[in-house]
Amino acid sequence: MNDTYVIAQKNTGNDSLSIQNAINIAKETESGTVIIGGGQWNLNTCIYVHDNIRLIFDGAIVNVNTQDGYFIRNSNAIENYKNVLYAEQNHIVIKGENGAIINNGTVFLSNVSYSVIDGLKFVGSKNFAIITASTLGLKIKNIQFDDCENGILLAVGTRDCIYHDLSGNVKNNFFVLSDYAFEEFRRHHREYVVINNLIRSVSAVAENLVYCTGQDIERIVFSGISATVKNVAFNIKKGKCISVSNANIVGKLFNDDIDENTLIFVK
């Protein structure tokens, strides 16, 4: 398999189009790396990534000013979700190096498998910094949050994913686990549960560390958690077999209404 390096061109008058053009060129080789170099990049439209693409932000400061706040989505993301079973994508890498910063943007991957988000710092994201839905085997690591509304949403169908080395502060929820979010996937995808996700090495300041709501949230493991919370660390409305080990939490540990849950703390 060939590998091609494409350098996104600055000062073209349209940074979104410049990055998208570089991605499309790399796509033609079926395996390409796109480099977005240092300096300010201003995006007024979302950019879309394809299978087997590595998108490297090398010291870039990306200012996102899109209508819905989305910064990156996968190219087969479908607004009406009707073909979700037939639009799966694989092996997408979105990586930040040398202090890359994303201002006010959200990465939203849907129906994506075996992909990576690594090394980005999100500042001021107004929705979630990262959203996953109907995803399998993702690795999300080395992520920082600064003054974001929310951190990461594990929406319906997020399964067998690993999240680690995450830090920073958010105004509301550091994590939200919800099989209700983007429920359209439930009607079109056989894997609608949020299941088998490992979250480890987290240092967080938040209103809630974890807000968990839904009927099918199972086997979630938190390990190595350090957090300061204003409300509760684990605000769990429903869920099964949620395990927490090696936790150092300042603030209320979890809500009192956990009759429907299995919440296990391990020293």
159-184 residue pLDDT tens: 999 999 999 999 999 999 998 887 77
Which of 142, 90, 89, 138 is CA-nearest to residue 116?
138
How far, CA to CA in Å, does 23 sit from each of 8, 38, 92? 8, 17, 12
Give the Cβ contact number of residue 267 at 10 Å: 5
12-22 residue pLDDT tens: 889 999 999 99
Type of residue found at 165: D
Domains with residue ranges and CATH for the chain: 4-266 (2.160.20.10)
Half-sphere exposure of residue 102, counting CA atoms within 13 Å on the CB side?
32
Per-residue pLDDT of the chain (267 residues), as tens digits, is 457 789 999 888 899 999 999 999 998 876 689 999 999 999 999 999 999 999 999 999 999 999 999 999 998 875 545 555 556 889 999 999 999 999 999 999 998 999 999 999 999 999 999 999 989 999 999 999 999 999 999 998 899 999 999 999 999 999 999 988 877 766 655 567 899 999 999 999 999 999 988 878 888 999 999 999 999 898 887 666 788 899 999 998 876 555 555 666 665
CB neighbour class for 67 (10 Å; exposed up to 12, middle 13-18, buried from 19): exposed
Secondary structure string (H, E, C) spanning 53-111: EEEEEECEEEEECCCCCEEEEECCCCCCCCCHHHCCEECCEEEEECCCEEECCEEEEEC
CB neighbour class for 101 (10 Å; exposed up to 12, middle 13-18, buried from 19): buried
Contact status, residue 183 vs residue 156, Cβ threshold 8 Å: yes
Full-model pTM: 0.92
- 118: its two tokens: 């690594």
Contacts for 251 with CB less than 8 Å, ≥ 6 apart: 227, 228, 229, 230, 231, 232, 233
For strands 60-64 and 139-148, give the pairing: unpaired
